[in-house]
Amino acid sequence: MNTTKKAIIILLSSLCGTGGLAAQKHITVSTQNTCLALKVTDKKQLEQVYFGNRLKNDIELQTAALPAAAAYSTFGAGHTFEAALRAVQTDGNTSTDLRYVSHRTEAQGSNIIQTTISLKDAYYELNVDLCYKAYQKEDVIEQWVEIKNNQAKSITLHNFASSDLSFKAAEYYVTQFHGNWAEEMKMSEQLLDEGIKIIDSKLGVRSNQFTHPCFLLSLGQPAREDNGEVVGGTLAWPGSFQFCFEVDPLRNLRVLSGINPYASTYTLEKGKTFKTPALLYTYSNSGTGTVSRRFHRWARQYGVKNGSGERSILLNNWEATYFDFDEAKLVQIIDDAAKMGFELFLLDDGWFGNKYPRDSDKAGLGDWQTNTKKLPHGIPFLIEEAHKRGLKFGIWVEPEMVNPKSELYEKHPDWIITQPHRELSLMRNQLLLDLSNPKVQEFVFNVIDNILAENPGIDYVKWDCNRYITTSGSQYLKPEQQSHLWIDNANAILGVMEKVSAKYPNVCFMACSGGGGRMDYGSMKHFDEFWISDNNDPLQRIFTQWGGQYFFPAIGMASHVSASPNHISGRSAPLKYRFDIAMAAKLGMDMQPVQMTEEEKEFSRQGIATYKQIRPTILHGDLYRLLSPYEHNRTAYMYVSENKQEAVVFNFLVRKDINGDRQTVLLKGLDPDKEYMLLEINREAGKGKKSRISEYEGKKFSGDYLMTVGLRFTMSNEYESVVIRVGQSGTIRME
């Protein structure tokens, strides 16, 4: 028997029990450790009855009546709270009454099981498919909805959630991620009381700037790292989003997730299907650490482009030159990069524009021809200079944007997003191109396609996006379709990303967006890494990267060593502190060798060499958070290799303690039966400085000891950091 067919038959058998009635009444979406259970009532209404740990026998969920709630709530038809779907039918009826039609389940390879539940309005030809992908090993569920209008005329969609999840607990706590440019991914938790809590974005583009499309929902108590019931969710969507948490008078909680319906009424023509973005979510009864590790494993396999591959250590010219460079300056930086041990040189903004040279952010954006004054020999010359020194070559682009002072704007003022009879709304002196227009989609794709075709040998592309939508008008869409812009623009950019990544699978792409503005799994499957913040200040980065780690793996999180004082915060910090926080993710550098002392150069060379040794563990290992910067003067976390033979532990002093911080650090994730040795790495040389963990070095410790008794060493200096390499006995060379 065909293996896939056999898997389907086995699965259906486990879901349906032994009778035909059960097959019509109960549906479960399960992974190895989680289960979402649904049932069909006698009136063919679909209800959620359970979401939690998977039972040894899921059929037991059918034994007794469980509290139930609509699996996908609709406006009208008796529902009195926020609805997942609100539509106006062809005859003006504002209600929708969905009834179960059928469901099908199929295995997609050995790890993914997709379940599709088909619903239909009780009267109208409106069909809704609830779609679930259950990733077995990673314990992540991906859910989206497909709404199809089979009526003779168009209908109007007002609300169109991707998921509708219900919970029953004594208390509910939600953690949201928020901030602004240069202070992204801050965390705050609050108790949900009766009523509605909304977490949303109305920005349309780089929509994560103020709030991020992910949440932690803790049931019964505030979220904890290693215990308690927690649900983590994140929306795979680069546009405006909304999470709606509603606690009803009976203390039931419903969570609606999806595209923000604000100003986004959508006309669905006859025969057309509206597909929502996916919500990715997981349930854990062992705290937030499990949630993060599940998302990281899922992301490396499915959510990030080339998630199981390698990442290069790059040197960027931006903070050294900004727009002021020429070939000689760049060749010098390339030469310095090679001597320092870097693997890639990135040419940032300012390399293009002739009629309107890109000498500042006020001109040239949109004119993607090489500036012949700055680079008379073109990009191929720089590629050759990099490659002959053993470096890869990368380049910066911002293809969705345009300066008013550009040839592109002169030719196509009708391509921008703006409102008629209103002044142009500029941010960073630039405007957004309207990707709801197919011609603009073609242009944006061709920008990247032409750059890569005309300059063979480009290995890396930094794809930036430095503003969001304000005057939300499209000169392409019809007057009655203007509210489509928010959705059509986001879908269009995802289409362009998909086309680019399919054509150039071996080119590494970074999603920049002025920081974490495009850090979502809708975009990330087309990008190898993301730029979490423009602010490389190490103290700020501790908090930014701490927040980002909850849903996004280190392999995608680019983190760079910058100059001191920092160009954004003005804060001065030791090179070691800056290096250590950058090494805790995907290492890169904006600080230039020409700006360094010989001592700093040597430290950096050694740091880069050390990072190459521990890179596999950091980029592909499991993350364990040890001490939170929100709760302690010291923060600590570690990465553990899959085979548990190696770990890297990062410690940062966040707030100076006058008596010194001697916090016990209990390690996690090790094999209790294995023997390990410890070594402090990235140490500053000379001046009689000894290892902070000298009493541990050269000795053998069991994983059980390190996780139960832990490590105690003092950290007392401002901006002090300690990085410890933990290796199975015999694998670490003592220095």
pLDDT at 80: 85
Q: Residue 687: is its pLDDT beyond 70? A: no
Average pLDDT over residues 486-496: 98
- Burial of 91-114, coded b for 16+ CB within 10 Å and e otherwise, reads eeeebbbbebeebebebeeeebbe
Residue pLDDT, tens place only, 394-448? 999 999 999 999 999 999 999 999 999 999 999 999 999 999 999 999 999 999 9
What residue spans define the domains of the chain?
3-287, 314-622, 624-728
Q: Mean pLDDT score of the chain, rounded to an integer?
A: 94
CATH topology of domain 624-728: Immunoglobulin-like (2.60.40)
Phi then psi for residue 564, to 5 deg, are: -130, 130
pLDDT at 730: 67
d(CA 449, CA 457): 13
Annotated catalytic, 580? no
Annotated catalytic, 464? yes
Residue pLDDT, tens place only, 614-660? 999 999 999 999 999 999 999 999 999 999 999 999 999 999 988 89
| Alpha helices, H only, 584-676 | 598-620
What does the CA dihedral 362, 363, 367, 370 come to, rounded to 10 degrees? -100
561 within 8 A of 664, measured Cβ to Cβ: no
Residues contacting residue 538 through CB under 8 Å, at least 6 positions apart: 573, 577, 578, 580, 581, 582, 652, 719
pLDDT at 280: 99
Tokens of 12: 């259906």
479 CB-contact burial (10 Å; exposed 0-12 / middle 13-18 / buried 19+): exposed
pLDDT at 4: 35
Q: What three-state secondary structure class fits 199?
A: strand
Q: Distances in Å between the alpha carbon of 276 and those of 156, 167, 401, 587?
A: 15, 22, 26, 35
Per DSSP, the residues of 8-37 read HHHHHHHHHTTSHHHHHHEEEEE-SSEEEE
CATH 3.10.580.20 is right for the domain spanning 314-622: no
pLDDT at 285: 98
**Nearest CA-CA partner of 201 in 515, 468, 482:** 468
186 CB-contact burial (10 Å; exposed 0-12 / middle 13-18 / buried 19+): middle
At 498, the pLDDT band (50, 70, 90 cuts) reads: very high
What whole-number percentage of the chain has pLDDT above 70?
A: 96
Q: Residue 5: is its pLDDT beyond 60? A: no
Q: How many CA atoms lie within 13 A of 688 on its CB side?
A: 0
Tokens of 197: 């809590």
274 CB-contact burial (10 Å; exposed 0-12 / middle 13-18 / buried 19+): buried
Average pLDDT over residues 7-19: 33
What does the CA dihedral 395, 399, 403, 406 come to, rounded to 10 degrees? 80
- Burial of 437-465, coded b for 16+ CB within 10 Å and e otherwise, reads beebbebbbebbeebbeebeebbbbbbbb
Q: Residue 506: is its pLDDT beyond 60? A: yes
Q: Residue 484 carries which DSSP code?
A: G
What whole-number percentage of the chain has pLDDT above 90?
A: 91
At 734, the pLDDT band (50, 70, 90 cuts) reads: low
d(CA 574, CA 566): 11
**Nearest CA-CA partner of 517 in 501, 533, 529, 538:** 533
Average pLDDT over residues 61-79: 90
Q: Residue 388: is its pLDDT beyond 80? A: yes
Q: Do domains 314-622 and 624-728 have the same CATH topology?
A: no
What does the CA dihedral 701, 702, 706, 709 come to, rounded to 10 degrees? -90
Three-class SS of 659-672: CCECCEECCCCCCC
229 within 8 A of 284, measured Cβ to Cβ: yes
Average pLDDT over residues 197-226: 97
**Nearest CA-CA partner of 722 in 686, 688, 682, 687:** 682
d(CA 684, CA 48): 57
Average pLDDT over residues 317-340: 96
d(CA 436, CA 438): 6
d(CA 260, CA 203): 10
Tokens of 265: 């009424």
Q: Which of 121, 139, 336, 464 is catalytic?
A: 464
CATH 2.70.98.60 is right for the domain spanning 3-287: yes
Q: Which of 349, 534, 537, 590 is catalytic?
A: 534
Tokens of 572: 């001065």
61 within 8 A of 26, measured Cβ to Cβ: yes
At 733, the pLDDT band (50, 70, 90 cuts) reads: low
Average pLDDT over residues 79-100: 96
316 within 8 A of 336, measured Cβ to Cβ: no
Residues contacting residue 112 through CB under 8 Å, at least 6 positions apart: 133, 134, 135, 136
At 688, the pLDDT band (50, 70, 90 cuts) reads: low
